[in-house]
Amino acid sequence: MGVESKSDSSFELTKESSESAVTSYEEKLLRDPEAPMLPTARVAQAPVSGGWFDPSSFTNLQWASNISHTVSNTINYVAGQFSEETLGLAVEEKRRSEAIDQFLDQESHRRDRQLKVIMFGDIWQKQALWRHYRLIVQPLSSQERSELIPEVRRAVLDMAMTVLHYLDEEIISKTKEKNLEQDWAGKIRAIRSLYWKDETERVNQILALNMETFHAQLKEHGVSMKEVYSKAHFFDEPGFLACPYYDSQDIFKQVERVYAADYEPTDHDFFHFDRRLSLTLIREVRIEKIGYSIQLQDPVRNMGERRKWIHHIENPTGLLFIADISHYDEVLLEDDSSNVLDEQMAAYESVLSSKWFSKAPLLLVLSNVVLFESKLEISPLAKTFLDYEGTSLDDAKTYIASRFLSRAKDRTDIHVVYLNVCDEQNVREILDAMEGTVLKPALTRLGVVE
């Protein structure tokens, strides 16, 4: 009995200790719901004897069940919150994905309707063409016009000095021929002598010329300003020949116009007289049309830097090569054994043979036809190209085109037009020619033309 009583006492003590341990942990859990250890772990660690479990008492089991139920509810609540958050994130992610897909579809549609044309050829001809399209897309700002003033004045004054140079030569020739006095030409020679001196003084002396008296003297001594202008344009200012101001054959009046105190550059001045070159690797202008756009790109920097810009002009819709055929009888300044037109043909062949442009059709613009025709009268084409046997302007144009086409080898996607890039009306015709030739397959695919 004693032993049995001791056993009961031990049992009661152990049970009380266990209940006390559980109760104290319950209180701790109530005080601190975020306790790091679960109560079931403490119950499992309680010093329970083998006979502690009493089927008639469910106190501990109920407590464990309550705790388990609480934990289960907590888990379910957190899971529910997580599910709602996850669902919200999924909806947002889907919305973003749909927006990205829509953007990519729009970009793909826009790119499909953006026809890229790359320009190559004579740098000054390209510049004139690009400037005209630039004016079509966006008018010059007040700041651009203000920055243009010194450029135009410099260009016009240079042209005037060039004309004076050849006028002086013509006057000397006539006076020697007719054994006349040269005193009346002193003012011209004085202005010419100021070429490398003060700009203001040159301008003032040009403006001081009495134009009626001046032209009367020229006529009296048989000096033709038309011949003087032709020589000047041939050697120094070929672009000026296509300028409407040429019709008056009076560059001196242009000096008066651009040096006026209230002078403001016109679009024409920007087109003809701005000689600044772009400092960018590639300049471009985008011409918006109904249902599509033409992106005209001009690689203006050194071709030796091709690796820096070639990726910008991959896969063009078409190519545009502009050759100045008025250079047919000229040689390179750095190599007097190389013909300028032959150099342009070599550059043209290089473009055609490039792997980057092997699938792009090309529009070949043979430009400066007006000057070409004028030069043929004093510098026959057969003198430069010994195999030429033609007699007319059309024969000469066809011959030059054949020399270019012979460099194209087996390609059949080359189209030729004869237009003057320096003529503003012709520039619009070049755009029409592009749409009717190299861009026509793309426009047909887009449903713009049949």
Q: What angle do CA 24, 27, 29 make, to 5 degrees?
A: 110
Query: Is 65 inside any structural domain?
Result: no
Per mean pLDDT, which range of 19-23, 261-265, 269-273 is the poorest?
19-23
Query: Is 360 inside any structural domain?
Result: yes
The predicted pLDDT at position 360 comes to: 92
Rounded distance between C-alpha atoms, residue 198 and residue 368, angstroms: 34
The predicted pLDDT at position 205 comes to: 83
The predicted pLDDT at position 16 comes to: 46
288 and 240 both lie in a single domain: no
Q: Are 310 and 356 spatial neighbours (Cβ–Cβ below 8 Å)?
A: yes
pLDDT band at 233 (very low <50, low <70, confident <90, very high): low
The predicted pLDDT at position 323 comes to: 95
Does 65 score more than 50 pLDDT?
A: yes
Each residue's pLDDT tens digit, 385-401: 999 999 999 999 999 99
Does 59 score more than 60 pLDDT?
A: no
Total domains in the chain come to 3
Which has the higher per-residue pLDDT, 394 or 92? Answer: 394
Q: Among the three residues 233, 264, 295, which one is the final residue of a domain in this structure?
A: 264
Q: What angle do CA 286, 288, 294 make, to 5 degrees?
A: 50
Q: What is the DSSP letter of 322?
A: E
Q: What are the beta bridge partners of residue 323?
A: 366
Query: Is 34 inside any structural domain?
Result: yes
pLDDT band at 214 (very low <50, low <70, confident <90, very high): confident
345 and 402 both lie in a single domain: yes
Rounded distance between C-alpha atoms, residue 82 and residue 69, angstroms: 19
Q: What angle do CA 117, 122, 123 make, to 5 degrees?
A: 85
The predicted pLDDT at position 22 comes to: 47
pLDDT band at 11 (very low <50, low <70, confident <90, very high): very low
The predicted pLDDT at position 7 comes to: 42
Report the candidate in 292, 290, 360, 318 with the shortest Cα–Cα distance to residue 109.
292
Which has the higher per-residue pLDDT, 176 or 116? Answer: 116
Each residue's pLDDT tens digit, 274-333: 878 766 678 888 988 888 999 998 886 554 555 555 666 778 999 999 999 988 988 887
Beta carbons within 10 angstroms of residue 442's beta carbon: 20
Stretch 192-214: mean pLDDT, rounded?
79
Q: State pTM to two decimals.
A: 0.67
Query: Is 255 inside any structural domain?
Result: yes
Q: Among the three residues 264, 290, 319, which one is the final residue of a domain in this structure?
A: 264
299 and 440 both lie in a single domain: yes
Report the candidate in 427, 404, 432 with the shortest Cα–Cα distance to residue 127.
427
Rounded distance between C-alpha atoms, residue 25 and residue 14, angstroms: 16
The predicted pLDDT at position 106 comes to: 56
196 and 253 both lie in a single domain: yes
* Per-chain mean pLDDT for the chain: 75
Phi, psi of 281 (to 5 degrees): -65, -45
Task: Determine the structural domain holding residue 25 and report its residue range.
Answer: 2-57
The predicted pLDDT at position 260 comes to: 93
DSSP element (H, E) containing 289:
strand 282-289
312 and 418 both lie in a single domain: yes
pLDDT band at 348 (very low <50, low <70, confident <90, very high): very high
315 and 403 both lie in a single domain: yes
Query: Is 83 inside any structural domain?
Result: no
Q: Which amino acid is at 390?
A: G
Per mean pLDDT, which range of 19-28, 220-229, 404-413 is the poorest?
19-28
pLDDT band at 337 (very low <50, low <70, confident <90, very high): confident
228 and 254 both lie in a single domain: yes
DSSP element (H, E) containing 12:
helix 2-31
pLDDT band at 370 (very low <50, low <70, confident <90, very high): confident
Does 49 score more than 80 pLDDT?
A: no
Q: Which residues contact 181 (CB under 8 A, 6 or more apart)?
A: 175
Q: What are the beta bridge partners of residue 318?
A: 117
122 and 12 both lie in a single domain: no
130 and 146 both lie in a single domain: no
The predicted pLDDT at position 9 comes to: 43
Query: Is 250 inside any structural domain?
Result: yes
The predicted pLDDT at position 416 comes to: 95
Phi, psi of 207 (to 5 degrees): -70, -25
Stretch 411-436: mean pLDDT, rounded?
87
3-state helix, strand, coil in the chain (%, to 5): 65, 10, 25
Q: Are 297 and 282 spatial neighbours (Cβ–Cβ below 8 Å)?
A: yes
Query: Is 399 inside any structural domain?
Result: yes
pLDDT band at 78 (very low <50, low <70, confident <90, very high): low
**CATH code of residue 431:** 3.40.50.300
Phi, psi of 380 (to 5 degrees): -55, 140
Phi, psi of 439 (to 5 degrees): -95, -5
Rounded alpha-carbon distances, angstroms, from residue 99 to 20, 96, 106, 143: 62, 5, 10, 40
338 and 212 both lie in a single domain: no
